[in-house]
Homo-oligomer: A and B are copies of this chain.
Amino acid sequence: MPFKLAMKAPRPLSDEALALIARRFAVLAEPTRLRLLHALFAGEKSVNELVELTGGTQANVSRHLQTLAHAHMLGRRKEGLQVFYAIADPSIFKLCELVCGSLEKSLNKQAEVFAQ
């Protein structure tokens, strides 16, 4: 029973589907979580490493990591006392690339207004 949905399908999307998609974007709509993802672009890291790299508190970092893991964006493995997280969803890379691109355009559009 594979689950199939597409935003550009002509059929209407259910409220449930929209909520799920929105939730997906919401997970990424948070600077701290983006900071964590960015740190993990370089490869798997422990919670402690991420705490140091992002400058956040251990509790806060842990909470955000949980959110990302529950969304299956991160994979998690434990080794003794340490827990390691890594990017588990490759589409994250493409997503961020797209958003940065359209953000650049948006900013350039704003810059044009000032240039006039």
A contacts with B: majority SS: helix
Cβ-based interface call for A19 (8 A): yes
The docked-state distance in angstroms from the alpha carbon of A71 to that of B109 is: 11
Question: Size band of the A side of the interface?
Answer: 35 or more
- Which residue in chain B gives the minimum CB-CB distance to A89? B102
Whether B8 contacts A34 by the Cβ 8 Å rule is no
Cβ-based interface call for A77 (8 A): no
Cβ-based interface call for A6 (8 A): yes
Whether A5 contacts B104 by the Cβ 8 Å rule is yes
Cβ-based interface call for A63 (8 A): no
Q: A22-B30, A96-B8 are in contact. Are A3 and B104 (CB under 8 A)?
A: yes
Cβ-based interface call for A94 (8 A): yes
Contact with B along A21-65 (1 / 0, CB 8 A): 111111011110111001001000000000000000000000000
Contact with B along A95-107 (1 / 0, CB 8 A): 1111111111111
Top-6 shortest CB links A-B:
A7-B96, A26-B29, A25-B29, A18-B31, A25-B28, A91-B102
